[in-house]
């Protein structure tokens, strides 16, 4: 994987309100994938940003009594502050109000017009303002928006259209040849059943009833409407069709677009067709993740069940929030957030399993070897071999899960190693070996614990980097040579002159369960 490129993107978020932990999940997920790829030697690049045009923004700004630009500027500043607080290692932050984006969108639309992909007509359809999407009557569910369930309004106006029908046969053939383009498979099946097989509708791409957007050069009373503007961010940010397209040449096609399941139709139908019309390569994969929901359904201010990432970070620390989100969110299924589950994950997984393993090891290393990690020993037994074999196998499983984007399963593989290492202590009973002065066996046990903890720390770096670095610091294994991915594959590392810290510091402090549950319930907002 050395020097291979890896381009990962988040959705560009619609800045009509404060970001909750559901939004934080998508960005954390993309950041984790980037960090993992980078750790394995890839030249990884992460793009995130904001989709800042459209009627919804205009309406929100008017309600606030400020200009649209003032509103999106404030929201962009808040988003960057949050991503900084969450230690998101993005390489670029694209805003669709930026000149670099608008200038390229103009050129893209010109190409579509030259190709005969765009025509002018009258649009009549059922419009959902929160989703900024038109629907046919057939697509409505109980007369309401099929995506968000809200009321829709019958609207008619002069519009420009993109000729989707022209590309329908190509799109079907593309999916037949690339069955894993969208994951999970259920998301692909949804758009096939509901939109592609019944026959694609041409896409309305302009509006005249509001003006907060990119004006069409050939007809300035029309502003571009959402998807041509929003979806193209993935290539405009890289400098496509600009004077300097170095990044585009280097990183396109995207290796994975991370999107929420609610926008898979746009990424699974419109985006491939736009790219085909431009003569560009397709992204390698689109991962439509599920939602983090509450017991009473989708996170919603009106339901009073919103919780913001800053609130949890302030009380529990960043790594606790990241670990919870990445471990809880399952591939393909919605996951339910509960205060009880959050506190239990904190106390059991992080404090008991991981924290205690490190603490016990540091304590025993200081007690039995004055802090020195044994570098050589003559006696190794079946229990040592079993730990080695289990760990190497779990690391292989981890790699497969990460490559398949099964992030929660990958974390589960790490916790299997943690559990196995805790069991190893019970099996070998170092305190008995010390009492019976079986020094060579004791050396082997302490070496194996230190080496297993080092491996665990490396595996955790993409997820909870601060905790991983803390572990390596306490083990005094901070040099880059101790962090290489290749060193995970064997148990041949030798710790020459490595001395752990004199006194271990708990990674996480155990919390009183009922008190913390009550706290989280109290800080959930309406």
Q: What is the pLDDT of residues 437-455, one digit of tens each?
A: 999 999 999 999 999 999 9
Q: What is the pLDDT of residue 515?
A: 97
> How much is the average pLDDT of 39-63?
94
> Band of the pLDDT at 103, cuts 50, 70, 90?
very high
> How much is the average pLDDT of 33-49?
97
> Band of the pLDDT at 297, cuts 50, 70, 90?
low
> Band of the pLDDT at 132, cuts 50, 70, 90?
confident
User: In the predicted model, is pLDDT for residue 403 greater than 80?
Assistant: yes
Q: What is the pLDDT of residue 20?
A: 86
Q: What is the pLDDT of residues 226-252, one digit of tens each?
A: 899 999 999 999 999 999 999 999 999
For 268, list phi and psi in degrees, rounded to 5: -90, -15
Contact 135, 129 (CB under 8 A): no
Is the preceding peptide bond at 324 cis, omega within 30 degrees of 0? no
E strand intervals along 262-376? 286-289, 292-293, 335-336
Q: What is the pLDDT of residue 2?
A: 62
User: In the predicted model, is pLDDT for residue 526 greater than 60?
Assistant: no
Domains of the chain: 339-488 (1.10.730.10)
Query: What is the C-alpha separation between 99 and 519, in angstroms, rounded?
Result: 45
> Band of the pLDDT at 186, cuts 50, 70, 90?
very high
Q: What is the pLDDT of residue 7?
A: 98
> How much is the average pLDDT of 119-139?
82
Q: What is the pLDDT of residue 205?
A: 93
The residue assigned the tokens 């009973």 is 429
Contact 230, 267 (CB under 8 A): no
Strand partners, 203: 162
> Band of the pLDDT at 303, cuts 50, 70, 90?
low
Burial class (CB in 10 A: 0-12, 13-18, 19+), 479: exposed
Q: What is the pLDDT of residue 212?
A: 92
- Strand 215-216: give its sheet, edge to edge: 206-207, 219-224, 215-216
Q: What is the pLDDT of residue 1?
A: 61
Query: What is the C-alpha separation between 498 and 151, in angstroms, rounded?
Result: 66
The overall average pLDDT reported for the chain is 93
Q: Tokens representing 213? A: 């957007």
Full DSSP string of 409-445: HHHHHHHHHHHHHHHHHHHH-HHHHHHTT-HHHHHHH
Q: What is the pLDDT of residues 454-504, one digit of tens each?
A: 999 999 999 999 999 999 999 999 999 999 999 999 998 889 899 999 999
Q: What is the pLDDT of residues 188-240, one digit of tens each?
A: 999 998 899 889 989 989 988 888 999 999 999 999 988 999 999 999 999 99
């Amino acid at each position: 994987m050395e020097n291979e490129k890896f381009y990962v993107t988040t959705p560009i978020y619609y800045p009509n309100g404060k970001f909750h932990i559901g939004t934080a999940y998508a960005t954390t997920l993309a950041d984790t994938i980037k960090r993992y790829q980078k750790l394995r030697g890839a030249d990884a690049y992460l793009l995130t940003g904001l989709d800042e045009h459209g009627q919804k923004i205009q309406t929100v700004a008017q309600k606030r009594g400020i200009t649209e630009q003032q509103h999106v500027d404030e929201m962009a500043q808040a988003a960057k502050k949050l991503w900084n607080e969450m230690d998101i290692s993005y390489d670029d932050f694209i805003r669709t109000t930026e000149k670099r984006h608008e200038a390229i969108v103009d050129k893209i639309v010109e190409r579509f017009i030259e190709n005969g992909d765009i025509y002018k007509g009258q649009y009549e359809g059922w419009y959902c303002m929160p989703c900024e999407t038109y629907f046919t009557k057939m697509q409505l569910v109980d007369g309401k928006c099929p995506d968000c369930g809200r009321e829709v309004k019958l609207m008619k106006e002069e519009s420009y259209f993109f000729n989707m029908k022209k590309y329908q046969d190509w799109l079907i053939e593309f999916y037949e040849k690339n069955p894993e383009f969208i994951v999970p498979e259920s998301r692909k099946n949804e758009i096939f059943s509901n939109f592609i097989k019944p026959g694609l509708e041409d896409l309305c791409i302009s509006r005249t009833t509001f003006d907060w957007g990119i004006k069409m050069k050939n007809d300035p009373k029309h502003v571009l409407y959402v998807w041509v503007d929003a979806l193209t961010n993935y290539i405009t940010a890289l400098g496509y069709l600009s004077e300097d397209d170095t990044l585009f040449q280097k990183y396109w096609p995207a290796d994975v677009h991370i999107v929420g399941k609610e926008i898979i139709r746009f990424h699974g139908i419109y985006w491939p067709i736009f790219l085909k019309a431009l003569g560009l390569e397709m992204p390698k994969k689109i991962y439509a993740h599920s939602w983090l929901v509450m017991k009473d359904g989708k996170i919603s201010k009106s339901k009073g069940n919103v919780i913001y990432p800053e609130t949890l970070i302030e009380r529990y620390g960043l790594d606790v929030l990241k670990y919870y989100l990445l471990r809880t969110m399952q591939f393909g299924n919605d996951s339910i957030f509960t205060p009880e589950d959050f506190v239990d994950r904190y106390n059991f997984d992080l404090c008991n399993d991981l924290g205690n393993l490190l603490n016990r090891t540091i304590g025993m290393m200081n007690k039995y070897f004055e802090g020195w990690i044994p570098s050589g020993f003559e006696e190794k037994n079946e229990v040592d071999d079993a730990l080695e074999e289990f760990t190497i196998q779990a690391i292989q499983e981890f790699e497969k899960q990460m490559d398949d984007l099964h992030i929660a399963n990958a974390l589960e593989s790490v916790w299997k190693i943690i559990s196995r290492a805790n069991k190893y202590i019970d099996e070998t009973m170092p305190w008995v070996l010390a009492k019976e002065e079986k020094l060579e066996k004791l050396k082997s046990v302490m070496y194996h614990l230190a080496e297993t903890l080092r491996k665990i720390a490396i595996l955790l770096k993409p997820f909870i980097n601060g905790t991983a670095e803390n572990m390596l610091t306490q083990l005094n294994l901070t040099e880059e040579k101790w962090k290489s991915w290749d060193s995970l594959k064997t148990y041949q590392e030798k710790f020459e002159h490595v001395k752990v810290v004199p006194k271990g510091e708990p990674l996480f402090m155990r919390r009183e369960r009922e008190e913390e549950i009550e706290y989280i319930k109290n800080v959930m907002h309406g």
